[in-house]
Amino acid sequence: KITTSPKGEHPSVTLFRQYLRIRTVQPEPNYVDEVVLFLEKIASDLGLDCQKVEVAPGRVVTILTWQGTDPRLQSLVLNSHTDVVPVFEEHWSHDPFEAFKDPQGNIYARGAQDMKCVGIQYLEAIRRLKGEGKRLPRTIHLTFVPDEEIGGHKGMELFVKRPEFQALRAGFALDEGLASPTETFVVFYSERSPWWLRITSSGNPGHGSRFIENTAAEKLHRVVASVLEFREQEKLRLQSDPSLTLGAVTSVNLTVLQGGVAYNVVPATMSASFDFRVAPDVDLKAFEKRIQGWCQDAGEGVTYQFQQKWTEPRITATDDSNPWWAEFSRVCREMSLAVKPEIFPAATDSRYLRAAGVPALGFSPMNLTPVLLHDHNEFLNEAVFLRGIDIYVRLLPALASVPALPHER
Ligand SMILES: CSCC[C@H](NC(C)=O)C(=O)O
Ligand SMILES: [Zn+2]
Ligand SMILES: [Zn+2]
């Protein structure tokens, strides 16, 4: 239920704190009982249409819609995910699901930055615009999706394949970005492709006291060395060129090692798992060949399998060839917001939207804020949160008024 504001608190902040108290925490987020009801209540308060699409059992996408005045035009999609990552409660100074606010206005909660703030900011901007009697040409759909934090496989990945998504006729989308510790805001126009792969090495087994030839461990060591050498090169490339950001290079980490049964038994197989994040300008076929080469060079019986392999990186143009970018950047200039376009270093649901043909920008309007997503003591200051609503109050009318594009005429 939505209560009245504590004395002196802005009602948008109160609503934000209520959303933060809903435990949509992975791995068992409660979507259906609480979030959907919470969003339905807001939809009815704001006079927005509300539909629910259950993309997988218990996995509901809730869509709130503000109809535009010109039904021929494609819509603006404002996406946010409703789930949050787990917490290590003992490392938090306050209960991460209490949304405690300190005297400086810092609101501590899991999801304060990632990304319950953005979901409420969209809604509160629309509340204000509707309150001013505004009508906008393009329809605005707010999509609240499940399971982003575990890859979106039972969330956005399924949703973009559904007829209900087609029916939204999305022309452009906003989705999450990252906080920025400086005055400058960051906006993300592409993402790196997650490639999660396990390299398995097989070799001769035998007694641990002997010099067994051609062991799984020796070959695994060789391939791991090749991967880590590549890692070092990319790290140096990033460090030596100040124009590059993390998202612009390919990173890799060795994250899991498996194998072995006993100290004195040389195992027949061992494996190493890697989290690669491939930059969007990389030729993916050639990159896979390179991985194949590292395996072959390590010796017979070294193979790889993908656990996750994204092969559809897309870039949303950040020049005036993209009318959505032109409007976005114009509003930022008018508001004197410094904005830096970057490639998102990790993966968000934007990748599914872009691959479905919808240009998308990742933008969470949080400057002067340390980057604490997935970290202990995640917080957002209420003044920064409220400023974000002001920013959407300017952005949404501009984006929802982009004139008919050539394919819409
Ligand atoms: C590949 S699906 C996992 C998604 C997750 N997203 C974030 C933002 O951490 C990641 O990049 O690891
Ligand atoms: Zn997120
Ligand atoms: Zn996250």
**176 and 87, same domain (yes or no):** yes
Q: What percent of the chain has pLDDT over 70?
A: 99
Q: Which ipTM score applies to this complex?
A: 0.97
Residue nearest to atom 2 of ligand 1 (CA): 151
Quote the ligand 2 centre to 252 CA distance (angstroms).
21
Residue 4 covered by a domain: no
**Among this protein's residues, is 327 annotated catalytic?**
no
CB of residue 308 inside a 6 A radius of ligand 1: yes
**45 and 101, same domain (yes or no):** yes
**82 and 199, same domain (yes or no):** no
Q: Given a cut of 80, is residue 3 above it in pLDDT?
A: no
Domain boundary among 309, 324, 345: 309
CB of residue 194 inside a 6 A radius of ligand 1: yes
Q: Could you tell me if 219 and 301 are in contact, meaning their C-beta atoms sit under 8 angstroms apart?
A: yes
**99 and 186, same domain (yes or no):** yes
Peptide bond into 27 cis (omega under 30): yes
Domain boundary among 253, 278, 309: 309
Quote the ligand 3 centre to 363 CA distance (angstroms).
14
149 annotated to bind ligand: yes
Residue 5 covered by a domain: no
Rounded-to-integer distance, Cα 53 and Cα 163, Å: 10
- Name the pLDDT band for 33 (thresholds 50, 70, 90): confident
Residue 1 covered by a domain: no
Over the stretch 133-179, which tens digit does the pLDDT of each residue have?
999 999 999 999 999 999 999 999 999 999 999 999 999 999 999 99
What is the torsional sign of CA 272, 343, 338, 79?
negative
**Among this protein's residues, is 9 annotated catalytic?**
no
**187 and 208, same domain (yes or no):** no
Which residue of 80, 84, 148 sits with most ligand 1 atoms within 8 Å of its CB, as the best mutation to test the pocket? 148
Quote the ligand 1 centre to 123 CA distance (angstroms).
25
284 contacts: CB under 8 Å, gap ≥ 6: 193, 278, 311, 313
**328 and 249, same domain (yes or no):** no
Average pLDDT, the chain: 97
DSSP states of 230-285: HHHHHHHHHHH-TT--GGGS-EEEEEEEEE-S-TTEE-SEEEEEEEEEE-TTS-HH
Residue 29 covered by a domain: yes
Note the pLDDT of residue 4. Answer: 74
Residue 167 covered by a domain: yes
Peptide bond into 115 cis (omega under 30): yes
**Which CATH number goes with the domain that contains 335?**
3.40.630.10
Atom of ligand 1 nearest to the CA of 308: 1
Residue 255 covered by a domain: yes
What does the CA dihedral 347, 352, 358, 361 come to, rounded to 10 degrees? -20
Task: Count up the domains in the chain and report the number.
Answer: 2
Atom of ligand 1 nearest to the CA of 275: 12
**Which CATH number goes with the domain that contains 288?**
3.30.70.360
**246 and 290, same domain (yes or no):** yes
Q: Given a cut of 70, is residue 47 above it in pLDDT?
A: yes
374 annotated to bind ligand: yes
* Amino acid present at 95: D
Which residue of 348, 351, 374 sits with most ligand 1 atoms within 8 Å of its CB, as the best mutation to test the pocket? 348
CB of residue 347 inside a 6 A radius of ligand 1: yes
**206 and 269, same domain (yes or no):** yes
Rounded-to-integer distance, Cα 107 and Cα 31, Å: 22
The ligand minimizing its distance to the Cα of 110 is: 3
**47 and 124, same domain (yes or no):** yes
Domain boundary among 244, 279, 309: 309
**260 and 346, same domain (yes or no):** no
- Name the pLDDT band for 123 (thresholds 50, 70, 90): very high
Q: Given a cut of 90, is residue 122 above it in pLDDT?
A: yes
Residue 287 covered by a domain: yes
- Name the pLDDT band for 215 (thresholds 50, 70, 90): very high
| CA 171 to chain CA mean position, Å | 20
Residue 6 covered by a domain: no
pTM of the model: 0.95
Quote the ligand 1 centre to 149 CA distance (angstroms).
6
Please identify which of the residues 83, 342, 378, 382 carries the catalytic annotation. Answer: 83
Q: Which residue range(s) make up the domain with 206? A: 193-309
Over the stretch 72-95, which tens digit does the pLDDT of each residue have?
999 999 999 999 999 999 999 999
**246 and 336, same domain (yes or no):** no
**179 and 244, same domain (yes or no):** no
